[in-house]
A and B are shown apart, each in its own frame.
Chain A
Amino acid sequence: MTIGILSSGAYIPRLRLARRAIAETHSWLNPALKGQGKGERAMCNWDEDPVTMAVEAARDALTGRDRSSLTALHFASTTFPFLDRLNAGIVAAALDLPDEASSLDIAATQRAATSALAAALAGAGETLIVAAEQRRAKAASPIEMAAGDGAAAIVVGEGEPIARLLASATHTADFVDHYRTAESTYDYQWEERWIRDAGYMWIVPPVIGRCLDRAGLKAADVNTFCMPAVLPKVANAVAKAAGIPDAAVRDNLHAECGETGAAHPLVMLVAALETAKPGDRILVVGFGQGADALLFEATETIARQPARLGVKGHLARRREETNYAKFLAFNDTMQIERGMRAEVDKLTPLSAMWRNRETVTSFIGGRCKVCGTLQFPKSRICVSPNCNALDTQEPHSFADKIGRINSYTADRLTYSPSPPACYGMIQFEDGGRWMMDFTDIDADQLAVGQAMRMMFRIKDIDTQRGFRRYFWKAAPAAPDAGRA
């Protein structure tokens, strides 16, 4: 048996903020932003965060796979919504993973994901590594321009990998290019030229050298080099110093996505795997207080990976956003008037949430053992008017079903962080229905009969207590349903 990457997936939010919208707003203050106002950056919808993106990336990676064989879930991010509540635990529940699988949050550095990947490859069992990032940035800051929101997921373990691990190496250094503390909302960053020269250039090439030595390969044997860096051309300079051909340097997706922070090494790796041919050697580097280097070789299995959206498909699932104010509002960067309807108490009774975790977090309904009727949520008495049997419901998941819109509206009265609130009755062909919120849809796309898939999203944000609750929403099923 070989250890390696068994499957990969990604998630990039559908909304893409045109950078020129940022530049046009702020160039009065910082004329340098004008030159950066090109391309677009992925931005979370109001109801997305690292947890929801992680769930979607994981579902993408788990396409066609049996989840019951997973023994561990590692979730890497520096922007976890919860500081003391296992974020991986939310993801595990949404994915309905076996509860004997271990779960771990890995945080506090931009190389959290590569470290998680290296640790999982060194361990036993089948591990799902998921990385997601939603970096907060001050308005008019360089990071606001450079960053993008996104997630990637990789399953590693023994079996028939799509890419096997050849070698890895790491290096720890308390090199503080930027930092964020429990007291600060935003990053504080040092001079970019120093980060390049004293950071990347000094730390990374030796780690790559050690990794290649362990693999018994030369730098010229690397076909694809994935190293995120928000500074332009740093990856090329590092490659040159390490002896890797410039043609191997993988585009960092700056133009269409932006740098997804701790998730970005995996986002780039997943994108590389999507185009890799058997035998291709992919070197991925994560940089942050040192560096990780992992060298993979694609196998014959890679061509047989079941179809999924991945990075490419999610980038195609796109809607341009030119309204920068929306980005500021969604990220709470700007204090806006939300109206008195927003004042309704959003308290989540934690005991009730726990009791109803299958319904709320896992989107599990019921199937009647007597009449076979599917229903959501599960209940003691079957909903079918011809049955109404007592205590006959067995758990039945609705998360991966495609439903159709039975009725809909676009509501401008009710409170929504992104009006109009689109919602309606979703009907599942084999039984079951629910009045659900819609997401990632525009009001003029609503139609009776439209196919919708289920996505795990933020349901409400309790600003009074700093809590957020999650539930499932319906989004257009067609990957190309997004538009410019």
Chain B
Amino acid sequence: MPKGIRDKVAILGMGCSKFGERWDMDASDLMVEAYAEALADAGIETKQIDAAWLATAIEEQHVGKSAVPLAVALRLPFIPVTRVENYCASGTEAFRGAVYAVASGAADIALALGVEKLKDTGYGGLPQRGRGTLNNMTWPNLSAPGSFAQLAAAYRAKHGSAPQDLKQAMAHISVKSHDNGARNPKAHLRNRITIDTVLNAPMVAEPLGLYDCCGVSDGAACAIVTTPDIARGLGKRDVVAVKALQLAVSNGLEAQHNSWDGSYLATTRIAAKRAYHEAGIENPREEINLIEVHDCFSVTELVTMEDLHISPEGTAIRDVLDGFYDADGTVPCQIDGGLKCFGHPIGASGLRMIYEMYLQMQGRAGERQRKDLPRIGLTHNVGGFPHQNVCSISIIGSLGS
């Protein structure tokens, strides 16, 4: 087993644009908004950046292909810039590229930036798009809610959960995220809602109603990483470091082999175990202080609590309803509002989660700041469909903890 990257790379600075329907902003404007904040936070100049990674998932809706749009928007001085796309894990993938570059010694300072400009489609929800030549011929015309909704059917069947109990827990998840989003000035959705709002909302994909679905937003987020030594040399104290970065990608097993029962994310379970090992975490429920997970839909957040091995299998409904994951609970989940309310500009989302960890660990999260500063936090993205997806997990923490 490789030793991993624990404490080899530090976060030097981060930035995040306001998420939402940014009708007056192009993707390049959003990139600059996140970058300017990150650069100021890092206390460096553009010319000090050795390499950069750009994450976008639906680039045909805004910047087009390649890393050129990032280099142009930021006027990067002819350095190596790479564009990555890996479904909704793209942002974390850009971060992984930058972190690995620093960990390897190939770069002293590297940048990761994720952006998505989704609100130029002319309609609500994610853009409807093709899935590839052969897939277009054999896959259902499945939407994101339609594919994730199926977790509910399989979860109920496996655990014998009453539909109303599951729906109640899902509603709790959404109400909690709206409460959290209301305390976040950069969040897309800042309104508080009630359980009834969720339960009475129009159906999108059975059993997911409108309030079980995250926002589709414009936005960008940015991280500048370096070695812990350089960070300290630049005057940083209380350095926030990377403890683990893991990725698990479906190989067709869930889609084609009957060993998967459809009630969980196989990739998340595997990536989480590897990440805990890399970070030296033995008991995640006890050791992790804060989590930001891929709550594209309420039911995704619910099963993820089990897939991360924090709630034992079959107990997520209880933990959720007990408030274990609320902002004042034991392990807050989506304290910034999550995808649900902070918003989900796909390429930016993974970096947005790390941004929140970074702020919380430094006590800079404003109104939503957790009283006891979190020392170990986990972020999680899942891109694609429950039966075929990419899962990324990062563990972030104070250097040496």
Contacts and interface: CB of A to CB of B under 8 A. Distances in A.
Contact of A433 (B138, B203, B255): B255
Interface string B125-153: 10011100110111111110111011101
B345 interface: no
Contact of A383 (B146, B205, B253, B262): B253
A341 B153 CA distance: 26
Contact of B257 (A340, A375, A412): A375
A416 B133 CA distance: 19
Contact of A407 (B134, B150, B208): B150
A415 interface: yes
Given A340-B123, A425-B154, A434-B255, 17 more contacts: A340-B128, A373-B257, A385-B257, A407-B151, A409-B147, A409-B150, A411-B142, A412-B205, A414-B143, A414-B205, A420-B206, A425-B387, A433-B258, A434-B256, A435-B140, A436-B140, A448-B156
B256 A411 contact: no
A373 B253 CA distance: 12
B61 to A, nearest CB: 13
A345 to B, nearest CB: 7
A431 interface: yes
B40 interface: no
Nearest to B122: A340
A370 interface: no
Nearest to A431: B258
Interface stretch (A82-90, A129-137, A151-159, A349-357): A349-357
B141 A421 contact: yes
B262 A406 contact: yes
Interface in B183-237: 203-206, 208
Interface string A404-431: 0011111111111000110111011001
Contacts, number: 143
A346 B141 CA distance: 11
A356 B125 CA distance: 32
A396 interface: no
A379 interface: yes
Given A435-B140, A449-B157, A425 B262 contact: yes
A359 B137 CA distance: 10
Given A425-B150, A433-B258, A414 B142 contact: yes
Contacts of B205: 409-414, 420
A469 B138 CA distance: 10
B157 A448 contact: yes
Given A427-B258, A435-B387, A413 B125 contact: yes
B261 interface: yes
A383 B142 contact: no
Contacts of A344: 128-130
By Cβ-Cβ distance, the 3 closest A-B pairs, closest first, are A411-B146, A407-B150, A423-B140
B239 to A, nearest CB: 41
A379 B259 CA distance: 18
A134 B357 CA distance: 61
A55 interface: no
